[in-house]
């Protein structure tokens, strides 16, 4: 059977790291409050010249180097972002050009924090249907540019960054590597729980992020544990079979509560929220890259990816490394 197999991963962070203490100099908050409620200790914030596109390009270059492939071997780029460089063209096309590629399909996917799961699902479907052979799937964001820095209930939670995976179509055995199952969901009736109050067709301005934090928290734990159950069922596994969960890094308490609901030991979670904060669509591939490079994720491991974000949208993917 044909599966999408991960050949390599890469990530990129802005140069500037901002600690909770530094943030507390300009925002009415404290290191203690942020740590206790979220687990976050610092975040990276894009500076002049750093954009979603430049971070995505750097992450894609690192992933291609890790995979040992050149841009000539790539025939698809899918980039998940809610903070594109421009309203159009898609940031993916700018990344394609910056990587020296041309001719093949390149487009953005918008599902906010779940964007990387939606991008993986899209690329995996295109690979299995024969439309693409080798894809770069990227999650990249500069959320710092849509934050209301006067709103302490949201601005302390997010950071900027990018992560990328290279996927390749491979003929594999039943117990071989590759993406085994992906499930995606959306409930548009909850769009006012987490949204940006602007856009090209409404205000004509970019807008700022608005969130009802408690409601997001409640839905996140329920939806994430149920969608993880769905991909496990589809692929014929149980929670105890999972080697690593690479979750969306929204909040340490959401991670802990979801693991508890599934009966998964905390040690099986890859957690980077303390260092990166919530980087939206970038958080899953960023965490994946960290855990693969530090040797935690090994060939043959059973890995679950999951994320939930504005919309609400959510999804999970089960794969063998
Ligand atoms: N610093 C200090 N105090 C603060 C801050 C801050 N940054 N933010 C809020 N407070 C205060 C509030 O004003 C409130 O004060 P009051 O009691 O005097 O009115 C108090 O802290 C408690 O506020 P709550 O909003 O009730 O705090 P809560 O315990 O719910 O934590 C949080 C807030 C961290 C946002 C939580 O609801 C949460 O994690 N929600 C999930 C949201 C999330 O992770 N979103 C990410 C995007 S979506 C996603 O990625 C899944």
Sorted by where each begins, the domain ranges of the chain are: 2-171, 178-320
Instruction: Give the whole-angstrom CA distance, residue 248 versus residue 271.
Output: 9
The predicted structure's pLDDT at residue 56: 99
pLDDT at res. 83: 98
Helix (H) or strand (E) holding 290: helix 283-293
Per-residue pLDDT at 90: 98
User: Taking the model in full, what pTM does it have?
Assistant: 0.97
Nearest CA residue ID for atom 38, ligand 1: 213
- pLDDT number for residue 284: 98
232, containing H or E segment: helix 213-235
Is there a common fold for 2-171 and 178-320?
yes
Residues of the chain under the 50 pLDDT cut: none
State residue 70's pLDDT score.
98
What's the pLDDT score for residue 3?
98
DSSP 40-71: --EEEE--TT--HHHHHHHHHHHHHHHHT--G
State residue 173's pLDDT score: 97
Taking the centre of ligand 1 as the mean of its atom positions, its distance from the CA of residue 192, in whole angstroms, is 17
Ligand 1: distance of its center to the CA of 250 in Å?
Answer: 12
The finding on whether 309 has its CB within 6 A of some atom of ligand 1 is yes
CATH of segment(s) 2-171: 3.40.47.10
- Phi and psi torsions of 130, nearest 5°: 90, 5
Q: Look at residue 69 in the predicted model and tell me its pLDDT.
A: 98
- CATH number for 178-320 (one of 3.40.630.10, 3.40.980.10, 3.40.47.10, 3.40.50.2300): it is 3.40.47.10
Whether ligand 1 lies within 6 angstroms of the CB of 79 is answered as: no
Q: Residue 236, Cβ neighbours under 10 Å: how many? A: 10
Using DSSP, state whether 85 is helix, strand or coil.
coil
The residues assigned a catalytic role are 113, 248, 278
């Amino acid at each position: 059977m044909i599966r999408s197999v991960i050949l390599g991963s890469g990530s990129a962070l802005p140069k500037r790291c901002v600690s909770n203490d530094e943030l507390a100099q300009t925002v009415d908050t404290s290191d203690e409050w942020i740590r206790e409620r979220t687990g976050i200790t610092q975040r990276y914030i894009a500076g002049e010249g750093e954009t979603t596109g430049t971070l995505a390009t750097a992450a894609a270059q690192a992933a291609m180097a890790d995979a040992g492939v050149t841009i000539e071997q790539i025939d698809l780029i899918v980039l998940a972002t809610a903070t594109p460089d421009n309203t159009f063209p898609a940031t993916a096309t700018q990344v394609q050009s910056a990587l020296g590629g041309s001719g093949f399909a390149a487009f953005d996917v918008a599902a906010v924090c779940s964007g990387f799961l939606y991008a993986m699902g899209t690329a995996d479907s295109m690979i299995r249907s024969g439309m693409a052979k080798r894809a770069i799937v990227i999650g990249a964001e500069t959320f710092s540019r849509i934050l209301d820095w006067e709103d302490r209930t949201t601005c302390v939670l997010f950071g900027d960054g990018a992560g990328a995976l290279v996927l390749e179509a491979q003929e594999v055995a039943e117990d071989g590597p590759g993406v085994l199952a992906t499930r995606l969901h959306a409930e548009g009736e909850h769009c006012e729980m987490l949204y940006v109050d602007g856009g090209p067709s409404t205000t004509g301005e970019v807008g700022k992020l608005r969130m009802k934090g408690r409601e997001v928290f409640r839905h996140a734990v329920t939806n994430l544990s149920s969608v993880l159950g769905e991909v496990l069922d589809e692929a014929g596994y149980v929670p105890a079979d999972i080697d690593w969960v690479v979750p969306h890094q929204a909040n340490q308490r959401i991670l802990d509560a979801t693991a508890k609901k599934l009966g998964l030991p905390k040690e099986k979670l890859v957690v980077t929220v303390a260092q990166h904060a919530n980087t939206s669509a970038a958080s899953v591939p960023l965490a994946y890259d960290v855990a693969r490079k530090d040797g935690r994720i090994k060939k043959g491991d059973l890995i679950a990816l999951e994320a939930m974000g504005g919309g609400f949208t959510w999804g999970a993917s089960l794969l063998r490394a």
